[in-house]
Amino acid sequence: MAAGAKIDVSGKGFEGVLSATSSSLAGRGPGGGTAYGAGSHGGFGGWGWGATSAGGYNALPYDDAADPALPGSSGSSANKYGTSGAGGGVVRVEATGRVTVDGAIAADAPMVTTLQSAAGAGGAVSISCSAVAGTGRISADGGSSYLGANLRGAPGGGGRIALRYDAAVQRADEAADLTVSAAPGRMGLNSAAGLCPATEQDAFYANCTPA
C-alpha cells in the first residue's frame, strides 16, 4: 500500500441505535453498550451518565486476539437525543509474501456528538504474511464521545489488531516503522485500550502504540 493510500472501514461495524423513550437502549453486537455505556471489543467501553462503575454496565471484550474477525459493537442511546456511535469494521489481509503499509488501514469507531449517546468500539485488523514493512498507520481506535453536562457521553473501547508473520523472514527483512493503535475513545469516563502487537513484534515496530 503506497503512501497516501487508505483502506477505511471506520464506522462499518455494528450500527448505532436510537432510543425512542427516556430509557437507555442497548447497543448492537456482542459488546453492545448498556445502561448509558459505550461499546466494547478488544477493551471495555466506557460509561457515561447514569453509570457508576468501570465496565459494570458493559459487555466483556470479545473476539480472537490472535486472529480477530468481528466488528466493533455500538454504544447505547438514551432519551431520544440521537443515534449512538457505530463500531469499526473489519479488515483482513492474507498474503504469502511481504505486506507493506506506507498508507493507512483504519477500522476506527467514529466520534459521537449527541448528548447521552455513547460511542462504539474499534473494529478489527488481521494481517497474515511472511513479513511486514512500511511506515504507515494501522488503527482500530474506539470512538470518542460528547462530554457535555454531567459527563453524559461514554467513549468506546479499543478494537483488536493482529499481525502474524514468519519470525525468521521478518528478522532478515527490512525493519518496519508502523504506528499501530487500538486506543480507547476520549472524553467521558473510563474506556479501555484494545489489543495491538506486543512482545516479540515490538522489535519490528519502532512506533507501536498500544494505548
DSSP 160: E
Q: What is the pLDDT of residue 24?
A: 76
DSSP secondary structure string for all residues of 22-70: SSEEPPSSTT-B-TTBPP-SSS---B-TT--STTTTBPPP-S-SSS---
* CA-wise closest residue to 150 among 202, 115, 191: 115
C-alpha cell at 153: 457521553
Distance CA(128)–CA(166), nearest Å, equals 9
Structure confidence at residue 160 (pLDDT): 94
What's the DSSP call for residue 11? T
- Is the Cα torsion angle 88, 93, 99, 103 positive or negative in sign? negative
Mean pLDDT value across residues 34-62: 74
Identify whether the C-beta of residue 133 lies closer than 8 Å to the C-beta of residue 159.
no
Q: What is the pTM of this model?
A: 0.85
State the DSSP code for 170: H
HSE-up (13 A, CA, CB side) for residue 15: 3
Per-residue cell: 133: 514493512
DSSP state of 168: H
What is d(CA 17, CA 187) in angstroms, rounded to the nearest whole number?
20
pLDDT digits (tens, 9 = 90+) for 72-129: 999 988 767 778 999 999 999 999 999 999 999 999 999 988 777 889 999 999 999 9
Beta strands in the chain (DSSP E): 6-8, 24-25, 77-78, 90-94, 98-100, 104-106, 124-128, 131-133, 137-139, 160-164, 176-181, 205-209
> Which among 107, 160, 118, 113 has a CA at the least distance from the CA of 27?
118
Lowest mean pLDDT among 15-19, 54-58, 163-167, 182-186: 54-58
For 156-194, the pLDDT digits (tens) are 999 999 998 888 888 888 777 888 999 888 765 555 555
